[in-house]
Amino acid sequence: MNRNYINILLIVCSVAAAAAVLLVFEAIIRLSGSVKPISNSRGLFVFNAFGPSKGNAKNIEAISFGEKVYTDKYGFRIPKDYTDKHLDNAVLLLGDSITFGVGVKEQDTFAGLLRSKLPNTIVYNSGVVGYNSYDYENVIAQFLPSHPEIIPKLKRVYLIYCLNDLNSDSAALIDRELNTKARKTTIFDSARHVGTLAGLNEFLRENSLLYVYLKGLLTDPQLRFYRAEALYYNADNDKIFNKNIQPILNIDAALKSYHIPFTVIIAPYEVQLRKADALLEPQKKLSAFFSSHNIDFIDPVPEFLAKGIPSKEFYLFADPMHFSEKGHRVIFDVLMRRF
């Protein structure tokens, strides 16, 4: 037999064996359910949901980070088979993917826990993946005037503030989904658009849980994400901070005009819970700012630390900011302190 032919055959068999091993490990990771795909259904987002802000499609069933999600007539996340309740009490949750509750079943999110604890209260979960401070302001500016009947019912508005709310980069996720949902329908369609290292990274993040798992084990994405966002809270960036925090002042003023109590919950990143009183400069700056403007807020870091468990248990696998069921439980307890 030709020696070159044998070498080619050996290479093909080796590649096939390696691919088979990778597929086996991919299947094991998927079956374990411990790692969540970092992706959303193409049809989950729509343009101009609240003024210029994009948002969730209305009355839709979709997939977000591996979990089925459902929305109501406003585009707010709800449990499956949820029916409108004609009640006199309500709370409105503002936020991004943390509030939306990616990767967690609805009943285990802090919104779902509120529904269970407060059966006589409507819980409006307006969280949208990729939102920032300007989007929260647009929700208040558009939703409440459009539904004046809801205003007397609102007992409180909570904003679950993420440290990346000063940064518009996360909104690129929505843009990518909206701009490609018509032409990317399968994994093979998506693969055609992988032309750079960044594109390959995004492709693997969305389609390979083994890749997400190995990247989480071999690198520290939680610390990398925190360092990127912490820059916005440095004194050198006060101009950016003051500009991009302004929408929260506008929200507070608008809610005061409606006589609706407003509370901000400062959601910590995972690395901030690894060690007591470490990497908390953003919280200190935000606390000083909210105090100086008489905005009610809660920094829940002490509640997390008091649990005495590893910080990673409060978050999805290798995730810098999205809470697991345990993390949602802590935020729920914090929310109830103000209700």
What residues does each domain of the chain span? Answer: 1-32, 42-170+225-338
State the burial class of residue 24 (Cβ atoms within 10 Å of its Cβ: 0-12, 13-18, 19+): exposed
CA 312, 316, 319 angle in degrees (round to 5)?
80
328's tokens: 């949602």
- Residue 310: the pLDDT is 96
- Residue 198: the pLDDT is 59
Q: Which CATH class is domain 42-170+225-338?
A: alpha beta
Q: What's the number of CA atoms in the CB half-sphere (13 Å) around residue 153? A: 18
If you compute the radius of gyration of the chain from its CA atoms, what whole number of angstroms results?
Answer: 22
Q: Side chain identity at 241, as an amino acid letter?
A: F
d(CA 190, CA 183): 9
- Residue 18: the pLDDT is 60
Residue with tokens 């909206």: 178
Residue with tokens 């500009």: 243
- Residue 276: the pLDDT is 81
Q: How many CB atoms lie within 10 A of CB 58?
A: 13
Is the Cβ–Cβ distance between 40 and 177 less than 8 Å? yes
Q: How many CB atoms lie within 10 A of CB 117?
A: 13
**Coil, helix or strand for 213?**
helix
**Coil, helix or strand for 112?**
helix
d(CA 1, CA 63): 52
Q: How many CB atoms lie within 10 A of CB 50?
A: 22
Which residues, including other chains, have CB under 8 Å from residue 42's CB and lie 6 or more apart?
177, 180, 181, 184, 185
Low-confidence ranges of the chain (pLDDT < 70): 1-2, 7, 14-34, 169-207, 209-218
Q: Name the DSSP letter for residue 90.
A: E
